[in-house]
Chains A and B, each alone.
Chain A
Amino acid sequence: AQKVTQAQTEISVVEKEDVTLDCVYETRDTTYYLFWYKQPPSGELVFLIRRNSFDEQNEISGRYSWNFQKSTSSFNFTITASQVVDSAVYFCALRLISGAGSYQLTFGKGTKLSVIP
Chain B
Amino acid sequence: EPEVTQTPSHQVTQMGQEVILRCVPISNHLYFYWYRQILGQKVEFLVSFYNNEISEKSEIFDDQFSVERPDGSNFTLKIRSTKLEDSAMYFCASRATSGSGGEQYFGPGTRLTVT
Residues of A that sit less than 8 Å from B by CB: 43-45, 47, 50, 91, 93, 95-99, 101-110
Instruction: Tell me the bound Cα distance from A40 to B74 in angstroms.
Output: 26
By a CB distance below 8 angstroms, the chain A residues around B75 are none
**Taking the nearest CB of chain B, how far is it from the CB of A75, in angstroms?**
16
CB of B100 within 8 A of CB of A96, answer: yes
Interface centre among A43, A47, A95, A109 (most CB of B within 10 A): A43
Are B42 and A110 touching (Cβ within 8 A)?
A: yes
Q: Could you tell me the dominant secondary structure of chain B's interface residues?
A: strand
**Minimal beta-carbon separation of A33 from chain B (angstroms):** 9
- Tell me if B44 counts as interface (CB < 8 A to partner A): yes
B32, closest chain A residue (CB): A102
Task: Evaluate contact between A47 and B106: CB separation under 8 angstroms.
Answer: yes
Shortest Cβ gap from A49 to chain B (Å): 11
Known: A95-B104, A98-B100. 13 other contacts (CB 8 A): A44-B108, A45-B109, A47-B106, A91-B42, A91-B43, A101-B56, A102-B33, A102-B48, A102-B50, A103-B48, A105-B43, A105-B45, A106-B45
Residues of A within 8 A of B95 (CB): 103
Chain A interface main SS type: loop
Whether the pair A104, B41 counts as a contact (CB closer than 8 A) is no
A4 to chain B, nearest CB (A): 8
Whether B42 lies near A108 (C-beta < 8 A) is yes
Closest 8 CB pairs of A and B: A102-B48, A102-B56, A104-B45, A107-B43, A109-B42, A102-B55, A45-B106, A97-B100
Q: Is the CB of A105 within 8 A of B42?
A: no
Q: Which residue of A lies closest to B101 (CB)?
A: A97
